[in-house]
Amino acid sequence: MRLAADHVRVSVPATAGNLGPGFDALGMALGLVDDLEVRAVASSSVEVEIEGEGAGSLPRDESHLVVQALRAALDHVGASQTGLSIRAVNRIPHGRGLGSSAAAVVAGIVAARSLIAEPEALPASEVLTLANAFEGHPDNAAPAIYGGATVAWKDAAGVHARPLIVSDEIETAVLVPGSTLPTKEARAVLPAKVPHVDAAFNVGRAALLVNSLAGRPEDLLAATEDKLHQGYRADVLGPATAMVRELRSRGLAAVVSGAGPSVLVLGTGLEEAGLGTGLLSWAEGIGGDRWHCIHTRERVPGATGVRL
């Protein structure tokens, strides 16, 4: 496989995993996007320029996640490796349960797909398989690839995902605190086993959530109840626990976004409910934090790559 382009641009959205009861299975693309420009250069060097999130902390060499994923994708299709010059404009907050690592992995793979002569060698299903090898669970990678809301699963044949039907009336609002929470820390507090009654509860709620997203928003508050992960994580979620409690007391379908501590709200009329984009003055001090909101009305597309 040869490279057919030397300059591409990639956009990839933030994502929320779990959506409450759909632990490691359900996910949704959010209205916040990272952009990258990738150039193949005639050398073995790697240069990474970073603007925005992670500018002061992310590596700028081969260890950068975008570079690792891009190289893995080139190897997967038998393409030659190349030197790289990457400019990343990062808008997705890191360490806040918004899929920043999944976005980086998907961006690298989609950049490779855009560089090679036969991009059809990396269809969405293969992008998901490669991304899952990095992530270990597909609930963030799937909506980053397909856009909208998705359900993903793994079996003996590999990893799979399907888009979900989401009514045009469903909006999202993501409340992002100033504090962070490493995903490993949030996963470490989960028990190895859960009561059968709790598992059955979540199966029912996850099924109800799929139905609610398709056009029954009046059921979203019940559909986003969970007994598999949020309760166990309450003590490490920091401000998210207090914010979820506050929003649900107002009748809003709020859940922890991924591993947190951001909070996702699904519903209608969210801006009228005080969840417009920007700093939320009414939320000042809830959970001891400040909260910035990203409100989205329309379906968010998945990752795209174009040759320049």
Bind-site residues for ATP = 93-103
Give the amino acid at 268: T
Q: Tell me the chain's radius of gyration from C-alpha atoms.
A: 19
Give the residue ranges of the annotated binding site: 93-103
> What whole-number distance in Å separates Cα of residue 78 and Cα of residue 144?
24
Instruction: Give the type of residue at 263.
Output: V
**CB atoms inside a 10 Å sphere around CB 95:** 19
**Cβ proximity of 227 and 22 under 8 Å:** no
Rounded-to-integer distance, Cα 84 and Cα 106, Å: 17
Q: Do residues 257 and 264 make contact, with C-beta atoms less than 8 angstroms apart?
A: yes
Pairing of strands 46-52, 83-90: parallel
How many residues can be counted in the chain? 308
Which run of H or of E encompasses 300?
Answer: none
DSSP 3-state assignment of 98?
coil
Q: Would you call 93 helix, strand, or coil by DSSP?
A: coil
Axis crossing angle, helix 124-135 with helix 65-76, rounded to the nearest 10: 130
The pair of three-digit structure tokens given for residue 123, joined into one six-digit string? 């269809």
Quote the DSSP letter at residue 28. Answer: E
